[in-house]
Structure 1
Amino acid sequence: MARKRIRKPAARRKITVPAARRKGITAGRRRLGRRRGPVLKRTKPVRRHAQIVTSALPVPALNLPDVPHFAPAPPSERQLSGTKLSILYLVHCFFPESYTGTEKFVLNMAKDMQRRGHRVKVATYSGLVPDDAPLAFGDVLAYEYEFEGIPVLAYRHRRHDPAQAAGIGDHSLLALAEVILTREQPNLLHVGHAMRGMEFVQAARNLGIPYVMTLTDFWFACPRSNLLRVDKQLCAGPEGGAACMMHCQIPYAADRLNVQLPLLLGASRILSPSVFLASFVKQALPDLAIEVLPHGIRPETVAPNTKSYGKGSSITIVYGGSLNEHKGVHVLIAAMAKIRARRLQLHIYGSGEPEYANKLYKAAARDARISFRGPYAEGDLPRIYQEADLAAVPSVWYENYPLALHEALAAHVPVLASNIGGMAEKIVDGLNGYTFRAGDASHLAERISMVARDPSLLNGLKDHIRAMPLPTVGVEADAYESIYFTYAR
């Protein structure tokens, strides 16, 4: 794909989003509102911005257990015979309503299995299911649609969001799950995320349908999913539910762990894309056997960035993702306020929670070097990473396998990342990027200033990245297909 440099947008340019982008795959992320700030341009950057003050997050001392990496078995006779399977994927939300990394992982696997001749379907919760939906099971409504050729069954509860429920066993959801599993007769259920759908896991167990699980966040160990306490500090784990009550006032956490554990133990296989995520969940639930199986990248979605740098080169930092507080974009803007370099720009892609996004717009309002460029689709990635010299992943939570980080590395763009969770697992300081203390705008500013003073540092980083190829979606799908054939009924 041809590469091109992107001109800096004119002041106050109106951002428009084509329809194809609004309903296409994005690398970023859940639809939480489309409000965006203007692209801003002034003649002089200023040094200080009000309303955002950041400092390093206290990181709990963690003594995490070792976890093994998944080792695929040789193809079985059943697999070699050309037998085709029926696979039902379960996920807590899905395209086009929601499009975070978990949804993209499920879509990637469903598409790849469909190309291999297997019959696939996605079951998902959706707030968009209409009141007159054709399927009704007590308090649950459902309807079917297709997304990019993948059949989808979407359901919702009339009375409440099941994500807020303390336990498992909603009779209407269980009835829906049993009817769907009986009708579809899948050889196997693959759980991409069990929030709002543990009744499908219970129904599969009741009906003797094998299931495998992929952990994509900390939901089984943390009712809030992100291991951030209500005081915005990092959590060291549920401690059997005691920490959930003490720090987040969640009284049912202990019962929740006890109810879920039998269903987790009933899984034929539990996989995690990152070592940190697998280790943390195993620390909270020691009886689980969890293996590491990294997510893959579709090489066709990115183009290698071949820029080289001299001492006077300009630097463009790119952030791509949701504009939500746990993603730490405020840390990035605060760091920019501490740097006087004029040959430095920050392009922010994505949308998110309006109140937080407005704080970001105000914090950046007087800095000509910062522009908000709105939501983006997968098709935009080659262009975005051609304009990038550094990619930023400034999250203030334990990211487990940040998709934006891997997209940047696949495009041979060095990464600035917080030094916690799966981010620290993937970025080796001074090798394929630089890490900084999570939440610490001053430390991040030091890292950016170091590169701004000597952009030629990026040349060595890019050489190392080229020598460290990432797994592809095809390799990931090969591994999952071997798992399916091992356990499918």
Structure 2
Amino acid sequence: MEHLLVEQEVPGQALDGSENTGPDQASRAHSRSHRAADEALDIPAPEETGAAGQMKILFVVHENPLDAPAGVQVYTRSVAEILATKGFETAVFSQRESDSDERLEELEHNGVRYFLVNSRLLSVRNKRFRFRESYDDREVFEHFKAAFDGFKPDVLHIMHLLTLSGEIALHAKEKKVPVIIGLHDYWYLCHRINLLKPDLSPCSGPDGGAKCRHCGDPKYNRFPLSLTMPIMASAFSKRTRYLRRVLNSADIIHSPSQATKRIYVENGTPEDKIELLPYGYMQIESPHKKKMPGYIRLGFVGTIAPHKGLHVLLDALWGVDPARIELQIYGEAPDRGYYESLRKKAEGMNVKFMGTFKRSELSRIYQSFDILAFPTLWSE
């Protein structure tokens, strides 16, 4: 798969007033970090950037990639590990709930250093998780500064900031370290992440936060909000302004698709700052061979949640002869109510809920499908 190699400089200033630092360096790391996700690509050794001769890249993601079964967390881990094999020095800053008494744990896995905030010990979350901490947790930020100073990165690559802090990006800019931000979803625009309303219909954007107050009902919200409508409108407006400043402070913003880029541009992100960079992928070891003539095996791999649209897929399969088609569903089900509704809907159909699988089994599982189904309701 061919990826875009960014060579031009990114002119101008960030919204926090600091100069854009090291655009060429950010561009090179941006291109390599995602081209590296395809192991078939031959990535050259990093040019010398310090005494050790290794470019140091610090990734930031909201949930510990070593524990997560899917999503941007797994992608972060893959990119960091592959870059480490190519001669880059990589580290990941994230968080996890641990029984340890250490507030900031440091460990190494597959050549990657991990700085993990123990979320169990965060004082705010032990009392009452406030809306502000969903995008600007200053206690987490203090731990990040310790990790940042200890690792001394040449480039900061932010994969996701959910429940971390936008100050992470602004701090790197203040320290003259280039910042790359990845648009893996619509979290910078939508506190529900996927730009879907509570009824799962699409939303065009926050409109300065004005439209977000209707999603503040705790029944539908990812975070407990006991706020009246006027207060909620103000809170969402502040969130929108703050995260726009954070996003626009980046030297480079990368989008995996034209659709994602278009939605961010329509909501105020400068078009010339967003570079299109499709996801890297691992090569399947051998070509698929259809197992049974006249029989179709569908596969779904992903989080079993309403926005992924599995209920739509089951509706589409209703009435189809189960002797002709089978659906295998792989993934974690954090919403047990939704999961049970799917199991009930699937009664009488040739549907199998397979649970999760190890990364080493990915090739075998994908090769077993005739068609990989992707019934998502949002623009992924």
Identity fraction in percent? 25
Q: Is the 8 A contact 2:62 2:160 kept in 1?
A: yes
User: 1:241-288 CA distances to partner (integer Å, 9 max, x unpaired)?
Assistant: 122124556522221121122322221111111111111112112336
C-alpha change, 1:277 and 1:323, in structure 2 (3 Å) is: same
Segment of structure 1 superposing worse, 92-101 or 113-122: 92-101
Deviation at residue 293 of structure 1 after TM alignment: 0.4
Query: Is structure 2 residue 294 aligned with structure 1 residue 360?
Result: no
- Name the SS of the counterpart of 1:196 in structure 2: coil
Corresponding residue for residue 7 of structure 1: none
Q: How does 1:27-426 map to 2 (within 5 A)?
A: 70-73=4-7, 83-126=53-96, 128-130=97-99, 132-133=101-102, 141-155=103-117, 156=119, 157-160=122-125, 164-165=131-132, 170-197=137-164, 198-246=166-214, 248=216, 250-251=232-233, 252-287=235-270, 289-299=273-283, 301-307=284-290, 313-340=294-321, 342-352=323-333, 353-367=335-349, 369-399=350-380
Instruction: Give the SS at the match of 1:260.
Output: helix
* Structure with the greater alpha carbon radius of gyration: 1
Distance in 2, matches of 1:279 and 1:236, equals: 11
Q: Deviation string for 1:216-248 (max 9, x for gaps)?
A: 110111111111112221111111212212455
Assess, with a 3 A threshold, how the Cα gap between structure 1 residues 99 and 370 changes in structure 2: closer, same or farther: closer
AA of the residue aligned to 1:257:
T
SS at match of 1:395: coil
TM-score in terms of structure 1 length: 0.60
CA contact (8 A) 2:48 2:55 kept: no
Unaligned 5+ residue runs, structure 2?
A: 9-23, 29-44, 218-231
String of CA shifts for 1:379-433, please: whole Å, max 9, x gaps.
222222332111111112222xxxxxxxxxxxxxxxxxxxxxxxxxxxxxxxxxx
For 1:93 and 1:247, the matched residues in 2 are separated by: 24
Bigger CA drift: 180-189 or 258-267? 258-267
State the Cα distance separating 1:203 from its structure 2 match: 2.2
For 1:95 and 1:378, locate their aligned partners in 2 and report how far apart those are by CA, in whole Å: 12
Q: Give the AA of the match of 1:398.
A: S
- Shift of the alpha carbon at 1:374? 1.4
SS for the counterpart of 1:195 is: coil
The Cα RMSD (Å) is 2.8
**Change in CA separation of 1:350 and 1:264 when aligned onto 2, cut-off 3 Å:** closer
How many pairs are equivalent?
A: 319
Matched-pair contact (CA < 8 Å) for 1:212–1:267: yes
Q: Structure 2 vs 1, CA of residues 371 and 174 (structure 1 numbering), >3 Å: closer, same or farther?
A: closer
Give 3-state SS (helix, strand or coil) of 1:165's partner: helix
- Whole-angstrom distance in 2 between the partners of 1:168 and 1:326: 21
Q: How far, CA to CA, are the matches of 1:99 and 1:158 in structure 2?
A: 27
1:163–1:195 Cα contact (<8 Å) kept: no
Tell me how far apart the structure 1 counterparts of residues 134 and 77 of structure 2 sit (CA, whole Å): 28
Deviations 1:161-196 (A, max 9, x none): 878426865442332222221221111111011222
